[in-house]
Amino acid sequence: MEVTKEFKSGFVSIIGRPNVGKSTLLNQILGQKIAITANKPQTTRNRILGIHTTKDAQVLFLDTPGIHKATGKLNKYMVDQALSACRGVDAVLFLVEATDRVGGGDDYILDLLAQSELPIYLVINKVDLVAKDKLLPLIQAYSERFKFQEIIPAAAATGEGVERITSLVTQCLPTGPMYYPEDMVTDLPERFIVAEMIREQILHRIHQEVPYGVAVQVETFEERPGKNLIAIQAVIFVGRDAHKRILVGKGGSMIRTLGQESRREIEAFLGTRVFLELFIKVKKNWMDSDRMLSEFGYE
């Protein structure tokens, strides 16, 4: 790719309350899926780097966990990840829902952002789900609450407004180098994304408190070039024996379904056939153990 003389580069954080569409927006910007999505809060647990490169700029987007009132150690880790992503960046995208009003959670985030001198862009997501006459009062309410660089109506799921978002944040970036090769979309290792795709299927298929007590580790990732195959073994860790029984299902039905659906997603991501084996282990109260959180990558 031949880049322009005034090439720009920089970091942009995507923040907001849980479940407002941050990961969906990142995937839409990149044109492919690297961050898992689910209709459940606290789906994203780590900061995820998405790399958007054009001939004019390289924008490094940081998808973050939802900012919420944290109680346990895992939840505090997630909120710390989100808040730390607002330091040392060039701009912030603050996502809210068009289907919601300005609430206490948004006020808390806005109070934090008021301490920063960064350009803050408000993205009102899910505008495809509301009538236009309901959107204008929401825009007015946010305009009165905070001085945003821009307010951008969008629908991350359909792509509406996404091109405008990338264009606006690119304009505020400084001139700089291309930090990553032009064909890279993330710096995440494949093992991490594979583990997240398995956890995503659990989020989609298991309800109540079970998904929030799950961690996934890929233990083996073996390429077999002669067979155009990757053999993967992954362990699903749960905090209670009862959660293990739910994930196994009657006669092993649930673990089979999770394996089949995960394999389809992983094959689409890796572009090759996959042999996937899933195992379940119980680690009592791992979410409140500093040692276990560190072992699972939540440091």
pLDDT tens track for 173-196: 999 999 999 999 999 999 999 999
Reported as a pLDDT band with limits 50, 70 and 90, residue 71 is low
So what's the pLDDT on residue 69? 66
3-state secondary structure of 35: coil
Percent of the chain's residues with pLDDT above 90: 63
So what's the pLDDT on residue 12? 95
DSSP 174: P
Q: Over range 82-107, report the average pLDDT.
A: 84
So what's the pLDDT on residue 268? 93
Name which CATH class applies to 190-295.
alpha beta
So what's the pLDDT on residue 70? 64
Strand partners, 216: 236
Reported as a pLDDT band with limits 50, 70 and 90, residue 1 is low
Mean pLDDT of the chain: 89
pLDDT in tens, 195-234: 999 999 999 998 777 777 899 999 999 998 888 899 999 9
222: Cα separation from own chain's centroid: 26
pLDDT in tens, 103-142: 778 888 888 888 888 999 999 999 999 888 889 999 999 9
- pLDDT over 70 (residue 74): yes
Going across the sheet that includes 214-224, the strands are 214-224, 229-238, 273-282
**Please, is 89 exposed, middle or buried when counting C-beta atoms within 10 Å of its C-beta (0-12, 13-18, 19+)?**
middle
So what's the pLDDT on residue 201? 95
So what's the pLDDT on residue 36? 82
| Same-fold call for 8-171 versus 190-295 | no
- pLDDT over 70 (residue 152): yes
So what's the pLDDT on residue 64? 84
Does this model's pTM top 0.85? My answer is yes
Q: Are 238 and 283 in contact (CB under 8 A)?
A: yes
Give CA–CA dist 135/145, Å, rounded: 16
pLDDT in tens, 252-275: 999 999 999 999 999 999 999 999
Reported as a pLDDT band with limits 50, 70 and 90, residue 298 is confident
CATH number assigned to the domain covering 8-171: 3.40.50.300
Closest by Cα among 205, 122, 211, 216 to 161: 122
Q: Over range 13-28, report the average pLDDT.
A: 92
Domain boundary assignment for the chain: 8-171, 190-295
Q: To 5 degrees, how large is the angle CA 142–CA 143–CA 149?
A: 110
